[in-house]
């Protein structure tokens, strides 16, 4: 018999089970063999595959054949019902419901083998059952838990045709109404099938005394044998712990106990456990000392926020380090199943894309570029990445094609049919190819670029250092009045200071402790830097001076050796000034990725996700407020630990601190202060704003045209007003905050466990007042949504063109009398390109940030929810609607500001409007949109 052909008896069985409903006439073919073998014997038919082995008697087969009629199929289920006692003779009242779920899928397609097995289980009576739980009547024989109703079953699982692509399917369920249920408060569900499914919602109609009742589930439900506790979903009502109906209290408490786990063993994909661990899985000491990394967290030397626990075994060579998941198994790194990407997020594609760069494409590219010693010889060569591409050797795609699907290679590296590396043109060079090199744009990006959160007001001249002089010697600035006095538009230095005209981008103290190690033990050659800027009358900034510093060659305690550079427009001095700006850009890129982006959004948000799921019930008002802002965070962080921030990972390869990257972020975390994560507090601390009751929101920016500050303040206070409206509905007084047992446990654990290395800091809110609760929740929402959007989604628009924001410097500033200085005089562009990020690192870095700068097609933005019935409280829905309308007003305001030609920092000479805090986005690299969460 030909491969792919099956006898009619087999195909009829497939049709009956609705597995292959289109096969109605011979020859019965299917693209791939569904079953490895089938046998017909005198009394039975046997079918088997790698996953299925089923035997049907011909009597059973004859019965199944007759079930092709839906009426007969229902008759068959009625017959089963009669046998099992699950039938209804019409004498009792019934209520109907609709269950919306998504079947197990692989990538964007339904898992075929899972569908086969689920239908077999369904035929054998192993079905999906649901039982109502009473919110008003307790069962004294079951620990006063709410009374359980009789099981009802999802109907028509076999006959419901589900789409080939992953998506929602709706099933009917019919409950025999029992008066002792009274008011349904929860539903207990058991999945007796072979495979898991994603349960989205359950809606009951015509419930006596209640009408329509909604259950918002949004959770993967695995087969019953995977669980030690039944899955329970609560109605979409909101209860403080003290207000929970007595019959539901034990269910509420038991669910939280289960989610905390017991802290033992390796966690599996079906586990729902949220627990804490140190960052002790970044290194791989078993691979050799070059891959060993210090544990971050749990010590005063390397404090860090906690990550999610996986429970993997320790490494063989270092018991304090956790073993790593093999690179090809990156998707299997544990996070609770409900924290994984949704199918529309293309989680597998994203993870495989990143994994592909590291595992297969990266070695191939290294080999290619090692064979081509010439680097980018000119800026025209760099532009070929976007306009024509870089030719790849013959057979390059074939070499890696065995490991990575061609479409994925094209998606990652924009490879066209002629086998070129090609990327979309970044916004920063789309309208004007040269504007990025101007002093105006260099300064503007400190206010409206991808890292607008570091610039600060200069408080004293010359700039001071806070480094310990006993360890680092004299680290004071060598910038003098002579360097800047002729460039202050007629003001003296003292006058400029007093009138708040001087600003600084300070990357000195954070980097100096690591400069010697980085320059000695990596390929990078960096300086600590200070950049001073002057605020002009038109609201723009102009750079005044750049100071580049190295530790004294004879020892740290001898202080620094510094050079000072001032702007120049002609001759070799102009080329030296361009290089000085490049060294600053390198520093800013590293600080941006490691601190502004990773540490201050990704890392600090994860403990909040863990603590919330461990201590706040899904019916708690603060859980409902915060939960949308956790979407995908644990998943993207786990993948980052696996392939981005790990030893030898992409970040270490493409950012100047290399092996010291994460260690540096740990040292900076020592200065992290939770209340200062509030935007107003941050602006005031940096001297970018002052309190002013006459200004909107009581805050006045010292640079009025500070796009991040202007838009950020609007977004911050919109969030805060929404949070205040929401919290005030449930917490009328401070006393209610204090007596909320779950809330107090949540905050205690977040401080003492999630940020355990800083638990004794005096600045933590005490969580005793409604004001503290409102401010805390606003900070959490701001950090996970707007702050992350501001520092993430501008990466490709600005840094996609690496000369604008190089990530590595490979040699020091040339000195007179050296060949490098001669090259700088004769061919400044080539000298510039030989100093910054190398060709291979450029391609790898661009590929990475292109992926990370994209909005997914299923993005849920600030002011949106993924289900309209997330709460049953009408006043809260009205408040949320007001929040959405306020955000729409802000969008209109941002558009108007960007069209105002008097505001020169909004668009700049590169003609890139500032839209990173525009609330609504669109899929792809849009450079706008505030997702609810740290989701990429």
Asked if residue 220 lies in contact with residue 128, where contact means CB atoms within 8 angstroms, the answer is no
Q: Which residue do the tokens 């190089």 mark?
A: 806
- Strand pairing report for 689-691 and 276-277: unpaired
Nearest to 722 by CA among 892, 916, 613, 885: 885
Q: Which residues pair with 38 in a beta bridge?
A: 47
Q: Cis ω on the peptide bond leading into residue 844 (within 30° of 0)?
A: no
Asked if residue 255 lies in contact with residue 617, where contact means CB atoms within 8 angstroms, the answer is yes
Query: Which residues, other chains included, contact 832 with Cβ-Cβ below 8 Å and sequence gap of 6+?
Result: 575, 578, 579, 582, 803
Question: Residue 360 has what DSSP assignment?
Answer: I
Tell me the two tokens of residue 101: 């779920």
Q: Which residues pair with 535 in a beta bridge?
A: 541
Nearest to 307 by CA among 646, 648, 619, 616: 646
Question: Residue 323 has what DSSP assignment?
Answer: P
Q: Which residue do the tokens 């008759």 mark?
A: 75
Q: Which residues pair with 648 in a beta bridge?
A: none
Q: How many CB atoms lie within 10 A of CB 489?
A: 11
What is the distance of C-alpha 542 from the center of its chain? 35
d(CA 508, CA 459): 16
Q: Cis ω on the peptide bond leading into residue 701 (within 30° of 0)?
A: no
Q: What are phi and psi of 122, to 5 degrees?
A: -60, -45
Tell me the two tokens of residue 513: 């402790």
Nearest to 445 by CA among 716, 936, 799: 799
d(CA 896, CA 913): 11
Distances (CA, A) of 49 to 14, 112, 122, 207, 931: 14, 12, 19, 45, 43
- Strand pairing report for 276-277 and 307-308: antiparallel
Please report the sign of the dihedral spanned by the C-alpha atoms of residue 753, residue 755, residue 757, residue 763.
Answer: negative
Asked if residue 509 lies in contact with residue 454, where contact means CB atoms within 8 angstroms, the answer is no
Nearest to 232 by CA among 215, 245, 213: 215
Which residues are known catalytic residues? 597, 602, 788, 792, 936
d(CA 533, CA 194): 65
Q: How many residues does the chain have?
A: 936
d(CA 314, CA 396): 38
Q: Which residues pair with 502 in a beta bridge?
A: 534
Q: Which residue do the tokens 């009328």 mark?
A: 732
d(CA 627, CA 621): 10
Q: Which residue do the tokens 């590929």 mark?
A: 847
Tell me the two tokens of residue 120: 């077999």
Where would I find the H helices in 750-873? 770-782, 788-792, 819-826, 828-835, 839-852
Question: Residue 453 has what DSSP assignment?
Answer: T
Q: Which residues pair with 529 in a beta bridge?
A: 507, 548
Question: Residue 314 has what DSSP assignment?
Answer: B
């Amino acid at each position: 018999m030909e491969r792919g052909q099956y006898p009619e008896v087999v195909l009829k069985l497939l049709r009956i089970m609705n597995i292959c409903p289109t096969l109605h006439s011979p020859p019965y073919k299917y693209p791939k063999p569904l079953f490895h073998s089938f046998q017909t014997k005198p009394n039975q038919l046997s079918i088997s595959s790698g996953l299925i082995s089923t035997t049907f008697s011909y009597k059973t087969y004859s019965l199944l054949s007759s079930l092709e009629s839906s009426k007969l199929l229902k008759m068959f289920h009625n017959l089963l019902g009669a046998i099992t006692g699950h039938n209804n003779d019409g004498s009792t009242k019934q209520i109907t419901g609709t269950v919306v779920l998504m079947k197990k899928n692989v990538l964007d397609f339904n898992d075929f083998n899972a569908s086969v097995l689920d239908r077999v289980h369904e035929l054998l009576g192993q079905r999906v059952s649901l039982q109502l739980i009473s919110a008003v009547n307790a069962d004294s024989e079951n620990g006063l838990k709410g009374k359980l109703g009789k099981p009802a079953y999802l109907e028509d699982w076999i006959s419901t045709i589900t789409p080939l692509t992953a998506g929602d399917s709706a099933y009917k369920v019919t409950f025999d109404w029992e008066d002792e249920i009274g008011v349904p408060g929860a539903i207990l569900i058991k999945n007796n099938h072979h495979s898991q499914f994603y349960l989205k919602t359950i809606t009951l109609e015509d419930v006596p005394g209640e009408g329509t009742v909604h259950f918002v589930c949004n959770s993967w439900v695995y087969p019953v044998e995977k669980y030690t506790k039944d899955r329970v979903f609560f109605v979409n009502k909101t209860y403080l712990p003290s207000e929970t109906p007595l019959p539901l209290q034990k269910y509420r408490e038991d669910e939280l106990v289960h989610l905390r786990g017991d802290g033992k063993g390796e966690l599996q994909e079906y586990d729902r456990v949220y627990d804490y661990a140190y960052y002790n899985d970044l290194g791989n000491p078993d691979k050799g000392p070059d891959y060993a990394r210090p544990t971050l967290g749990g010590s005063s030397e390397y404090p860090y926020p906690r990550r999610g626990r996986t429970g993997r075994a320790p490494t063989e060579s270092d018991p304090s380090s956790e073993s790593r998941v093999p690179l090809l198994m990156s998707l299997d790194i544990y996070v609770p199943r409900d924290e994984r990407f949704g199918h529309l997020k293309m989680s597998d594609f994203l993870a495989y894309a990143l994994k592909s760069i590291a595992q297969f494409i990266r070695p191939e590219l290294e080999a290619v570029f090692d064979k081509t010693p010439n680097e980018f010889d000119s800026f025209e060569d760099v532009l070929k990445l976007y306009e024509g591409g870089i030719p790849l050797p013959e057979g390059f795609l074939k070499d890696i094609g065995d490991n990575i699907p061609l479409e994925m290679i094209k998606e990652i590296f924009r490879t066209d049919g002629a086998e070129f590396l090609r990327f979309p043109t970044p916004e920063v060079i789309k309208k004007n190819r040269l504007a990025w090199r101007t002093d105006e744009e260099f300064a503007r990006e400190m206010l409206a670029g991808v890292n607008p959160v570091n610039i600060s007001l200069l408080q004293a001249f010359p700039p001071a250092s806070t480094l310990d002089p006993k360890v680092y010697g004299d680290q004071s600035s060598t910038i003098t009045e002579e360097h800047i006095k002729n460039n202050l538009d007629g003001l003296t230095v003292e006058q400029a200071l007093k009138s708040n005209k001087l600003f600084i981008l300070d990357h000195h103290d954070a980097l100096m402790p690591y400069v010697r190690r980085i320059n000695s033990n990596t390929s990078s050659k960096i300086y600590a830097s200070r950049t001073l800027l002057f605020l002009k009358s038109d609201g723009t900034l102009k750079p005044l001076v750049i100071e580049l510093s190295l530790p004294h060659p004879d020892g740290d305690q001898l202080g620094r050796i510094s050079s000072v550079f001032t702007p120049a427009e002609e001759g070799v001095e102009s080329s030296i000034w361009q290089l000085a700006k490049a060294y600053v850009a390198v520093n800013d890129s590293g600080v941006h990725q490691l601190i502004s982006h990773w540490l201050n959004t990704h890392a600090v948000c994860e403990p909040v996700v863990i603590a919330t799921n461990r201590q706040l019930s899904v019916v708690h008002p603060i859980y409902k407020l915060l939960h949308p802002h956790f979407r995908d965070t644990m998943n993207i962080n786990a993948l980052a630990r696996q392939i981005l921030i790990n030893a030898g990972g992409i970040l270490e390869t493409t950012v100047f601190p290399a092996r010291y990257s994460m260690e540096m972020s740990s040292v900076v975390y020592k200065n992290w202060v939770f209340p200062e994560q509030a935007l107003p507090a941050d602006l005031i601390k940096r001297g970018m704003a002052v309190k002013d009751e006459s200004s909107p929101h009581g805050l006045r920016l010292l640079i009025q045209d500070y796009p991040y500050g202007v838009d950020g303040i609007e977004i911050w206070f919109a969030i805060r007003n929404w949070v205040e409206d929401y919290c005030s509905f449930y917490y009328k007084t401070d006393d209610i905050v204090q007596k909320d047992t779950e809330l107090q446990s949540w905050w205690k654990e977040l401080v003492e466990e999630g940020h355990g290395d800083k638990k004794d800091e005096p600045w933590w809110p005490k969580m005793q007042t409604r004001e503290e609760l409102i401010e805390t929740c606003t900070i959490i929402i701001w950090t996970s949504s707007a702050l992350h959007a501001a520092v993430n989604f501008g990466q490709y628009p600005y840094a996609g063109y690496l000369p604008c924001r190089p990530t590595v410097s490979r040699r020091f500033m040339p000195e007179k009398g050296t060949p490098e200085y001669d090259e700088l005089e004769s061919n400044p562009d080539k000298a510039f390109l030989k100093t910054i990020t190398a060709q291979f690192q450029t391609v790898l870095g661009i590929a990475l940030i292109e992926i990370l700068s994209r909005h997914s097609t299923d993005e849920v933005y600030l002011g949106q929810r993924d289900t309209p019935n997330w709460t049953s409280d009408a006043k809260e829905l009205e408040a949320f609607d007001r929040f959405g309308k306020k955000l729409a007003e802000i969008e209109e305001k941002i558009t108007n500001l960007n069209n105002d030609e008097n505001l020169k920092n909004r668009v700049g000479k590169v003609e890139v409007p500032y839209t990173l805090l525009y609330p609504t986005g669109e899929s792809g690299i849009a450079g706008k949109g505030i997702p609810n969460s740290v989701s990429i």
